[in-house]
Amino acid sequence: MTDQQTTTPEFTSAFSMIRALGLIATICGIIIVGVYQGTLAAVTANKKLALERQVFKVLPGAKHVVEYFAAAGGITPAEGRATPPDAVKFYAVYGVDGKLVGIAAEASSAGYADQVRVLYGFDAAKQAIVGIGVVSMRETPGIGDKILTDEAFLKNFQALDVRLGADMQALANAVKTVKHGAKTHPWEIDAISGATVTSKAVGRGINQSAQALLPRLVPHLDQLRKQP
């Protein structure tokens, strides 16, 4: 038997195996895409429902939520589009009468174990944050998760001052988390004793978000007074 006769069956076997693997990979890909497409609507609906629940928590009286982008040039409806690189996403929140109740936006910063993501409610008339809800976190149970239940900590967000400075380019006073019991100003957050890292993550995230959003949003609030 020649070398060519010996090699040909091995080559054919290898080719058949590659072809079979390619076919299997193609079928698996089609199945994955099909499952993704089939469940996308349900996943999107569940995310929207979870978001609305948090919005209703931070802005009592809310009935309708409209998603917007705020950029240097103004505000525009999101209409299901991905957030542009130079824009900040926020939610205009309306009551049953169609009037603006407030603005909701997300804030995120590194905590003890992972990112701490919160949703906060902004009252334009008070120029203050009037509530927060946790979107996601993995902080230590019984310690970091006190930001959900500690009444003294949650009182920080009944009227947390986030008014803009005279030039409308940044907050008049940066939101800052201080040591438990050391709060003296309305833009400060009194930390939870024993959960300082998580408390600081909340304060840092809110400050970063408000500094990015409010200078772009506040000058255009009149556009949002009535539900579109």
Task: Give the tens place of pLDDT for each residue, 36-94.
Answer: 566 545 544 556 666 777 888 899 888 999 999 999 889 999 988 888 888 999 999 99
Give the mean pLDDT of 205-215: 97
Prediction pTM value: 0.77
Q: Secondary structure of 82-122 in the HEC alphabet?
A: CCCCCCEEEEEEECCCCEEEEEEEEEEEECCCCEEEEEEEE
Q: What string of DSSP letters covers 139-203? A: PPTTTGGGGGT-HHHHGGGSSEE--B-TTSSSBSS--EEE-TT---STTEEEPPTT-HHHHHHHH
Kindly report, residue by residue over 112-154, the tens digit of the pLDDT.
888 899 999 999 999 999 999 988 877 777 777 888 889 999 9
Radius of gyration of the chain, Cα coordinates, nearest whole angstrom: 25
Contacts of 42 (CB under 8 A, 6+ apart): none
Of 221 and 51, more confident: 221
* Segment 149-195, tens digit of pLDDT: 899 999 999 999 999 999 999 999 999 999 999 999 999 999 999 89
Residue predicted with more confidence, 9 or 190: 190
More confidently predicted of 62 and 101: 101
Q: Is 63 helix (H, G, I), strand (E, B) or coil?
A: coil
The identity of residue 163, as a single letter, is R
